[in-house]
Amino acid sequence: MWLGQPDAAIPQIKKAIRLNPHDSNIASYYWALGSANLVSGHLDDAAILLSKARAANPRLFFIHFWLAASLAPKGNLDEARSALADSIALKPEITSLARWQAESPWYTNPEFVTFAEKTLYAGLRRAGFPDN
C-alpha cells in the first residue's frame, strides 16, 4: 500500500485474516485492510473494516485516525470528528497532517500520496484535521 498499490495489498491481507482470524493482532490486520480499501476509494468497506479494527483494539490511535478519514467523505462528520478526537486523545502530539507525516515518513511516498490526497487526506481535512 505504501508503494501506491493498495489494490494489490487487499487480497494478501484478506488471506492473512482468513488464515489466522483469532490472531492477537487482528486489529492491525483489519486496520491494514480498511486502510487499503480507503486509499483505493472503497469507502463503505473501509468504514466497516476500520470499525472492526477499532472494536478489536480501541487503544491504537491510528485506527481512529483512519476511521475518521473513511467516515467524513460519506457525510458522517459527527462520527468522523469523534473518531478524530479519540485518536488525538490517544496520541496528543499528532495534531496535524504535517506532524503525522513527520512521525511516519512512509506516508510521504509520492506513489502513496497520489492515492492519499484523494481519500485519506481529503477525509481528514473534511473532519477538521489541519494541514499544519
d(CA 70, CA 77): 10
Q: Specify the residue for cell string 483494539.
A: 57
Digit-by-digit pLDDT tens for the chain (132 residues) are: 888 889 999 999 999 999 999 999 999 999 999 999 999 999 999 999 999 999 999 999 999 999 999 999 999 999 999 999 999 999 999 999 999 999 988 888 898 899 899 999 999 999 999 999
Helix axes 43-56, 61-71, angle to 10 degrees: 150
Query: What is the Cα 27 distance to its own chain's centre?
Result: 12
What are the residues whose beta carbons fall under 8 Å from the beta carbon of 106, sequence distance 6 or more? 2, 112
Can you give the residue ranges of every domain in the chain?
6-126
d(CA 120, CA 39): 6
pTM, full prediction: 0.94
CATH 1.20.58.220 fits 6-126, yes or no: no
